[in-house]
Amino acid sequence: MAETNLQILLRRRPNGPPVAEDFEIVETAVPQPKAGEVLVKAHYLSLDPYMRGRMSDAKSYSAPVALGAVMEGQTAGEVVASTVEGFAPGDIVLGGFGWQRFSCVAPGRLFKIDGGEAPLSASLGVLGMPGLTAWVGLEDIGQPKAGETVVVSAASGAVGQVVGQIAKIRGCKVVGIAGGAKKCEFVTETLGFDACIDHRGDLQAQLDAACPNGIDVYWENVGGAVQRAVFPRMNDHGRMVMCGMIAEYNDTSPAPGPNLMAAVRKRLRIQGFIVSDTGWPRYPQFRQEMLGWMAAGRLTWREDVVEGLRNAPSAFIGLLKGANFGKLVVKID
Ligand SMILES: NC(=O)c1ccc[n+]([C@@H]2O[C@H](COP(=O)([O-])OP(=O)(O)OC[C@H]3O[C@@H](n4cnc5c(N)ncnc54)[C@H](OP(=O)(O)O)[C@@H]3O)[C@@H](O)[C@H]2O)c1
């Protein structure tokens, strides 16, 4: 049977948590590359929290996915046909080709990698956008110094697991926050964090016990109750790396915020960032440093691999509730 292109489209904008009916799965013909295009077959699709923002038409730093269009997403795959010099069938490439099996793309949107350096799916996680986010945010904003206390929320997730391991390499005391005993055990036993707090328990008491000298760097991935517990425990001249607030992405009205007067009194630096602003031109430097740590056994990673592109919507719905354990990727075939 001839191959078809499987695509997942945005059917309607969610109101609160996304549901299966917000997506539409279609099968279409495999597209043919025009002059100046490359045909890519995706092997892995990355599922990431920012996709919830793209489903909404609320004002944001990036345009929403149009209704009826293919959902946006980073993929890793191989070139199957090319009209472009420098790209040949079999080349391994990364790019934002969306929730679909085949796509025709211009070379400016393709990033060729050496497929032998690491498993392909790692280039969507530890060596991909989430890993790059961790590396850029720590380099530019967190700037952890040896001996400081670094707290990381969503610590077992794609970004958090890399943040904490780099902070350990920098000589910090690292405390993770995650949901449930299994994830906390992974964070301390496998990732090597000094402690991990279960955000379903008494956050205040656990933070006081794990951070007796306060917090110098807080990596914000979740917002909500976790942020409110961490904020008053920040030390003078602390840095809060405002990466994301997944606990609030499905809210239909804004949650109450922390009292930001402490930022004045303590001369805190609180800075939001978007990895795409400055990250991708530094990708070769990031990849080289990460591969060095991986080869030296100083950096590990965990993935949560879902089989089949048709299962992407339900996996993404689960991600926003903490159902994933590690970087969530879809194995397309
Ligand atoms: N600024 C940027 O450029 C940038 C780039 C990439 C990602 N981000 C942000 O970074 C954050 C982490 O992304 P990721 O890719 O690493 O995701 P992820 O950790 O792989 O998956 C999300 C995790 O968030 C936690 N979570 C979900 N709902 C929660 C809630 N209500 N309260 C507390 N924790 C909750 C869950 O872990 P637990 O079960 O442990 O709670 C879940 O597994 C997100 O906010 C994302 O938007 C920002």
Domain boundaries, the chain: 5-125+302-331, 129-276
How far is ligand 1, taken at its centre, from the CA of residue 121, in Å? 19
Where residue 134 falls among pLDDT bands split at 50, 70, 90?
very high
Supply the pTM of this predicted model: 0.94
CB of 30 shorter than 6 A to ligand 1: no
- Ligand 1 centre to CA of 194 (Å) is 20
Asked if 274 and 295 touch (Cβ cutoff 8 Å), the reply is no
**CATH fold match for the domains 5-125+302-331 and 129-276:** no
What is the 323 CA–ligand 1 centroid distance (Å)?
11
Mean pLDDT of 188-197: 98
The neighbouring-strand residues paired with 25 are 8
Q: Kind and range of the H or E element at 156?
A: none
pLDDT tens for 3-43 read 899 999 999 999 999 999 999 999 999 999 999 999 999 99
Question: CB within 8 A of 225, min separation 6: which ones?
Answer: 199, 203, 247
Q: Among the atoms of ligand 1, which is closest to the Cα of residue 160?
A: 16
- Report whether residue 242 contacts ligand 1, using a CB cutoff of 6 Å: no
CATH superfamily ID and name for 5-125+302-331: Medium-chain alcohol dehydrogenases, catalytic domain (3.90.180.10)
Closest residue by Cα to atom 40, ligand 1, is 178
pLDDT of 143 above 90: yes
Reply yes or no on whether the pLDDT at 2 is more than 80. Answer: no
**Whole-number pLDDT of residue 201:** 95
Report the residue count for the chain. Answer: 333
What's the rounded Cα separation, in Å, for the pair 328 and 315?
8
Nearest partner of 330 among 1, 8, 2, judged by Cα: 8
Question: For residue range 52-100, what is the model confidence (pLDDT) as tens digits?
Answer: 999 999 888 889 999 999 999 999 999 999 999 999 999 999 999 999 9
Dihedral sign, Cα of residue 302, residue 307, residue 308, residue 314: negative
In whole angstroms, what separates CA 97 from the centre of its chain? 16
pLDDT at residue 175 is higher than 90? yes
The reply to whether ligand 1 has any atom less than 6 angstroms from the CB of 154 is yes
* Residue 45 in contact with ligand 1 by CB distance below 6 A: no
- pLDDT tens, 242-298? 999 999 899 888 777 777 788 888 898 899 999 999 999 999 999 999 999 999 999
> What does the pLDDT read at residue 14?
96
CA distance 307 to 311: 7
129-276 architecture in CATH?
Answer: 3-Layer(aba) Sandwich (3.40)
Q: How far apart, in whole angstroms, are the C-alpha atoms of residue 287 and residue 74?
A: 16
Q: What is the pLDDT of residue 253?
A: 85
> In the chain, what are the helix, strand and coil shares in percent, each to the nearest 5?
35, 25, 40
- pLDDT-derived band at 1, boundaries 50, 70, 90: low
Rounded mean pLDDT of the chain? 95
